[in-house]
Amino acid sequence: MKNYLIGLLAAILLLAPHNGFGATPLPEEISQWRLAADQGDAKAQFNLGTMHENGKGVPQNYVEAMNWYRLAAQQGYIMAQFNLGTMYENGKGVSQNYAEAIKWYRLAAQQGDAKAQFKLGSMYAIGQGVPQIDAEAVRWFRLAAQQGHTGAQSALKSVGEQ
């Protein structure tokens, strides 16, 4: 099961990040988000993290993205928790750390985020940052699949689960 899932998961995970927004924000928007973020607004902090991660409206800076994501994630902002997990998993702006990635994915997954549930299932399926535990992988895949996550549905089919 492990080898089959690795290929399947690699293809699916490439499509997974939460992007926040698509268009490059205007300077006025950036100023407004910065003001709100400095006052503790989690959504604005997330938006600034996304801008710095992707270099939209500001120079790309993974360390700065990590700082803004962390502030929002510590307030329970699900998409920031997910993106923080992704940054740790991929070593963007920080040393790669699967245990930290698991921590942030788990927080988002426990709040019902299907992408985080799928990521957590994927990491259990291949033993990345956690012991390989097929039952735990299936549990997280099921939760994501129940929300319509197609990657999780495919992963369940590949292991004979529905």
User: Which pLDDT value is given to residue 15?
Assistant: 37
pLDDT band per the 50, 70, 90 thresholds, residue 160? confident
Give yes or no for residue 14 having a pLDDT over 60: no
Give yes or no for residue 3 having a pLDDT over 60: no
- Check the CA dihedral 128-125-65-22 and report its sign: positive
pTM for the model stands at 0.83
- Check the CA dihedral 90-94-98-100 and report its sign: negative
Q: Domains of the chain by range and CATH?
A: 2-158 (1.25.40.10)
Residue 24 DSSP code: P
Q: How far apart are CA 39 and CA 11, in angstroms?
A: 39
Instruction: Tell me the mean pLDDT in the region 19-37.
Output: 79
Q: What is the pLDDT of residues 145-154, one digit of tens each?
A: 999 999 999 9
